[in-house]
Amino acid sequence: MQTHEIRRRFLDHFVRAGHTEVPSASLILADPNLLFVNAGMVQFVPYFLGQQTPPYARATSVQKCVRTLDIENVGITTRHNTFFQMAGNFSFGDYFKREAISLAWTLLTAPVADGGYGFDPERLWVTVYLDDDEAERMWLEIGVPSERIQRRGMADNYWSMGIPGPCGPCSEIYFDRGPEFGVEGGPEADEDRYIEIWNLVFMQNERGQGRGKDDFEILGPLPKQNIDTGMGVERVAFLLQGVENVYETDLLRPIIDKAEELTGRSYGVEHADDVRFRVIADHARTAAMLIADGVNPGNDGRGYVLRRLLRRIVRSARLLGAEKPVMAEFMRIVSDLMAPSYPELATDLRRIETVAVGEETAFLKTLNTGSTLFDNTAAAVKAEGGRTIPGTDAFTLHDTYGFPIDLTLEMAAEAGLAVDEDGFRTLMAEQRKRAKEDAQARKHAHADLTIYKELVDRGATEFTGFDELTSEATVLALIIDGVRAPVASQGQDVEVILDRSPLYAESGGQIADRGTITASGVKLRVDDVQKIAKTLWVHKATVEQGQITEGDAVLAQADQAWRNGATQGHSGTHMVHAALRQVLGPNAVQAGSLNKPGYLRFDFNWQGQLSDRQKADIEAVSNDAVGANFPVNTFVTDLPDAKRMGALALFGENYGDEVRVVEIGGPFSMELCGGTHVRHSSQIGPITLLGESSVGSGIRRVEAFVGLDSYRYLAKERALLAGVASSLKVPSDEVPARVEQLVERLKVAEKELERTKTAAVLASAASFVDKAERIGSVLLVAVAAPEGVPAGDLRTLATDIRGRFGAEPAVVVLLGDVDGKVPFVVTVNKPAQELGFKAGDLVSSFGSSIAGRGGGKPEMAQGAGSDPTGIAAGLAAVRARVAESAG
């Protein structure tokens, strides 16, 4: 049975049982505890916590999930996946244990012809919580014999979110794969043979503080008993498809086949290669799903996880023998495989490819850089007579330069060196510990939104700001320091909830309106407006005059100047987005934005810096659209219709069934947007691009002023240009040419100065030759170079001195002093090399004195130290070393 069919049967089964089918949430949710959605119940958390009233009594979904704690284990075993699909059914105070057990058993064991999965009941085992007699009795009644029911403790069969909140016992269903996969005895004996496929959580209690899976207090029963179940789609797939693990299933094995084609290696021959094939299959699918939901490679958070996944794909492919880029091929096959369930992968394939290929290109450069750094490190180790690359160096290569440890190990072996793996692992463990402690410090119970629940249930705030800036309203609630308050007095900060409001609540990149709330003798200054549950407007205000009381009739007013500027900024953002796509093409897709009065910032997916011509064209297209005075139309429709019309959506955003479309100039710009806008494009005023920069791999940013802020900026630039023209005594239009002439003259002068400095340095070579010491049969120049001589000139000087000794054996050691650093050069001529002297070996004699290291070839070695006070001791150490060797 194909995986897409497994998903469909699950949903159909529960829809027939009265459940509402709920689409998968994005992998990215606004939850402070989660990097990614990692369980099927995450989008329903507010219902389980009692913060919101669910719109249905029972629901079913197949949720996209990503878990990243085990990235390093992916491929090593066949049990770890970063991306997986969790099928679940949920009851919010409706049914409980008996029906949950019956529904699960029926789907698993019903014949395929009747819509079930057709599992043999004789091969299914169940576990229950230690004292859950009720669940055991129900399993016995359904036909599971007592010898296939096992009781397990809190660590295995008691569920919680890991933080204070709902919890309860659970019952897990296992499938017996047979004696060839392990020993008899059920899940307690062998969880490789007995594979867990479904977990039924009976959410009935509330947990308190504590740590771990079994160290917390159970405070008491929940007001309502809930059901939360999770069936692993991938696990069921490999069992029903008769293969040995998830990597052999219909959604992963074709990726391995493609990897075989691209690398020339075969899966199933060597374990090390199999690990790499599985890494590619797993990570390619996860990366595509993350990019589709709006994640872009970066240096922290979600972006860093995606970057790691993509780089592990490239690394694994290279180790398997791939010589050409592979990412586009992998993204295409993932799209082909997953699109029947997630059609956005097909419609958005070009953007997904662009992001993934961009990271691959960047990482291939990193690999080249890392290889160079490794060569230098290996040379330094050998120069000091060592045979092992220190763990600190391996960690630096890995952590700072993104150079994978297994490549370090492989290249070290080729160079005849070992790696201090224990030291590396210790540093990695310390880094993980710090990250874990940081995450734990940030992890807390879900923000307590219970106080807003009654207000959310009462109904959404009516936003009147699309049509008016002043609205009559009623105060529904006042909240001070997280507690409902009947009244707020002068000087107090207060959250005000109104039944209707013209003030825009921050969302969609547009910051909140500023404004006032007034009544007779009462005035509040509103500095921010935020949304709760996407429906409730919370006005964060300060009482400047009088007292405000719950139930008061008030007048809410948005600051007109602020709103005018905000609408210019937001509409200007749409102009710039449309211009980017017109100039750069459809792959220039929005990755984020911020707009406020007079200013906009727009992030988009793109590889490489924009040219001056491209920036000029984007600004010109934007202002042409402003000058065209396009009408701005808004309308509400359903999401499928909006997409059919070509409306652009922000990737990773969760939209409801109905969406608001903002259309500017017909086909010029059409986007899903809930923000406020001008009525005609000419009201935006001039748009002036301030610049363009990188904010991460594959993401560029443009910033611009609009309206009066644009005018003020241009006026300032004009005044600056006039000042420069006056100083140069040329007309304004001749300033660029005049500045170019001055720059060229400066370059010529700098080059002449460099030549003079070099000549002066070389002129001192004769004096250094005069200072040569004869030690045995070798002439040694070991001196401190003049202060301030840079490393490049030091090398030139050393080479010149060496050349003056002709056929006499000579060793030259120069140590410099430049801004507290100690650059050094060691060079040995051929006659001295024939006597056994090597430049790299001599570095080790003085390196510790100046806290430095370096390396090179027998003829020339160089590097730098950080302790100028050790120069004299270092030179003495060189003399001793040469004397020892010459003797």
877 DSSP β-pair partners:
none
| SS3 label, residue 529 | strand
Structure tokens at 276: 């790499």
Query: Phi/psi of residue 641, each to 5°?
Result: -65, -40
13 annotated as a binding-site residue: no
Q: Are 41 and 203 in contact (CB under 8 A)?
A: no
Write the CB contacts of 259 (distance below 8 Å, at least 6 apart in sequence): 267, 277, 280, 281, 317, 320, 326, 330
| Cα distance between residue 887 and residue 881, in whole Å | 10
Residue 142 in tokens: 């359904």
Which of 113, 92, 91 has its CA nearest to residue 9?
113
> Residue 810: phi, psi to the nearest 5?
-145, 145
Rounded Cα distance between 331 and 354, Å, is 10
Compute the distance between CA of residue 67 and CA of residue 483 in angstroms, rounded to an integer: 36
The response to whether 680 counts as a known ligand-binding position is: no
* 168 close to 158: Cβ distance less than 8 angstroms: yes
Q: Is 749 exposed, middle or buried (0-12, 13-18, 19+ CB in 10 A)?
A: exposed
Q: Is 444 annotated as a binding residue?
A: no
CA distance 41 to 215: 22
The HSE-up count of residue 5 (CA atoms within 13 Å, CB side) is 12
Helix orientation angle between 271-292 and 301-319, rounded to the nearest 10 degrees:
140
Torsion sign over Cα 344, 350, 355, 356: positive
Ligand-binding annotation for 570, yes or no, is yes
Nearest partner of 590 among 512, 509, 530, judged by Cα: 509
What is the Cα–Cα distance from 482 to 492, expressed in whole angstroms?
Answer: 13
Structure tokens at 26: 């994005």
Instruction: Return the residue matching tokens 């220190």.
Output: 390
Helices 405-414 + 301-319 axis angle, to 10:
30
Plot region of 204 (φ>0 → left; ψ -120 to 50 → alpha; else → beta):
alpha
First-last CA distance in the chain: 81
CB of 662 closer than 8 Å to CB of 697: no
Q: Is 227:59 a contact under the CB 8 Å cutoff? A: no
State which H helix or E strand residue 613 sits in.
helix 612-627
Cα–Cα dist 285/262, whole Å: 17
249, two tokens: 């299933």
List all residues 6 or more positions away from 703 whose beta carbon is below 8 Å from its beta carbon. 599, 600, 601, 602, 689, 690, 691, 692
Nearest to 287 by CA among 265, 270, 310: 310
C-alpha to C-alpha distance for 755 and 151, rounded to whole angstroms: 85
Annotated binding-site positions for Zn(2+): 570, 574, 673, 677
Annotated binding-site positions: 570, 574, 673, 677
